[in-house]
Structure 1
Amino acid sequence: MDAIRKSLDAISKLTDADWKIFSSKLKKHEIKKGDALLRAGDVERYLSFIVEGSARIYIPKIENDVTVGFVYENEFVSSYASFLTKETSTFQIEAMSATVLWRLTYTDLQDIYKETENGNTIGRVTAETLFLTKSKREESLLTQSAEERYTRLFKERPKLIKEIPLKYLASYIGVTPQALSRIRKRISR
């Protein structure tokens, strides 16, 4: 739990009383590599914090899934719109490695907002960060070439390039694996 407290303290310092409330709501969950945290068509019931491992968020398709994001240690993961609205999710979330999570339900999160001094601030900053990440991705898909998206991804998140299978990276930047191979060859020259 130290990792989640450290991450939350970086957003807004928690008092010991606030941490006691927050930590009492967290439930530990372990997921095997390849298992789903959430299946498309289900309602997201949790806001999860990854303390170990990684996950891929994608839209399952018959031929090729569409990858929309990757989440690592010390990051929150959720189909956040489904979590907030209690409507079914279009997204599926899958563990890319053995993953350990701390989870909160929607009701628990609302209790934290009501009962703590900093819960609302942490929630707002976290939601703003998720929004900015989503906006940045949408903007890059609309304004950059696939090569520019790959180069930017390489600079901003080199961990992705090393750890993620090429087919997922290709899907994330919006190209086929073959097109990504050609991009990588051009860049390496």
Structure 2
Amino acid sequence: MNAIQQLKNNLEKGGILTKFKTLEREEYLKTANNINTNLYFISEGSLRVFYVNDKEEHTLYLGYKKSLITALDSFFSNKVSQLEIQALKKTKVDFISKDDFMKFMMSNPENLSLWYAILEELIYLQTEREIDLLISSPAERYQRVLQRRPELFQEIPHKYIASYLRMAPETLSRIKRY
């Protein structure tokens, strides 16, 4: 069992992961210009976190079944976020407020250790993502993400993966053919 699933199980056992929401395809979980510090555990479906700049959408990260998603900037700063979170297909999330989550984490050293492990993995993945974006070759970016997260290509529509990889959907299609 991965760390995120273990954390979710601990929260359920503790009786504090009791809220859930079902989103229809293309429905927003979070829009820009507001504060949202909830943590969302994806039970079904998939979500994207993106930023809009000059009317162009830029996918920052993607979430799917058994993953955790939030507006990171808002979660850590408790400030207004420009990020948006949108369902890519019908999606069910279980969620918890940051306050309830942190109280639970601080109450038990094992939970806190698990949270640190998740944060370490998140920082590692964000660093890998930044490296991916510095690589000029779209084919190499594709290969790196395919090696690191092959399940992404089963769960997420390709046009959003292309946005995540900073390439046109047509470029991704060409690369995948070879």
Fold agreement, TM-score > 0.5: yes
**Aligned-partner Cα distance in 2 for 1:96–1:32:** 8
Aligned position for 1:145: 137
Residues 55 and 94, structure 1, Cα contact 8 Å, conserved in 2: yes
Report the more deviating stretch, 91-100 or 107-116. Answer: 107-116
Q: Report the counterpart of residue 29 of structure 1 in structure 2.
A: 21
Q: Which position in structure 1 is the counterpart of 2:6? A: 8
Identity of aligned residues (%): 26
TM-superposition CA deviations, 1:155-186 (whole Å, max 9, x none): 3333333443332222111122233344334x
Name the residue aligned to 2:64.
72
1:25/1:108 contact within 8 Å kept: no
Give 1:42's aligned amino acid. Answer: N
- Which one-letter code corresponds to 2:150 in the other structure? P
Write the distance in 2 (CA, Å) between the matches of 1:24 and 1:9: 12
Instruction: Check if 1:58 corresponds to 2:50.
Output: yes
Q: Any residues of structure 2 matched to 1:117-156 within 5 Å, and which?
A: 117-143=109-135, 145-156=137-148
Please name the residue that 2:96 is paired with.
104
Distance 1:163 1:28, change over 3 A: closer
* TM-aligned CA deviation for residue 61 of structure 1: 3.5
CA RMSD of aligned residues (A): 2.7
Shift of 1:134: 0.8
Detail structure 1 runs of 4+ shifted over 6 Å in the superposition.
3-6
Task: Report deviation, 1:102.
Answer: 1.3
Q: Where in structure 2 are there 5+ consecutive unaligned residues?
A: none
Distance 2:4 2:29 in 1: 24
Pairs aligned (count): 178
Amino acid at match of 1:79: A
Q: Normalising by the residue count of structure 1, what TM-score does the alignment of the two structures yield?
A: 0.81
Letter in 2 for 1:8: Q
**Counterpart position of 2:172:** 180
Alignment partner, residue 76 of structure 2: 84
**Greater mean alpha carbon deviation, residues 156-165 or residues 79-88:** 156-165
Q: Distance in 1 between matches of 2:76 and 2:7?
A: 24
Q: Which residue of 2 aligns with 1:114?
A: 106
- Is the Cα–Cα contact under 8 Å of residues 7 and 74 in structure 1 kept in the other structure? yes
Q: For 1:128 and 1:26, locate their aligned partners in 2 and report how far apart those are by CA, in whole Å.
A: 26
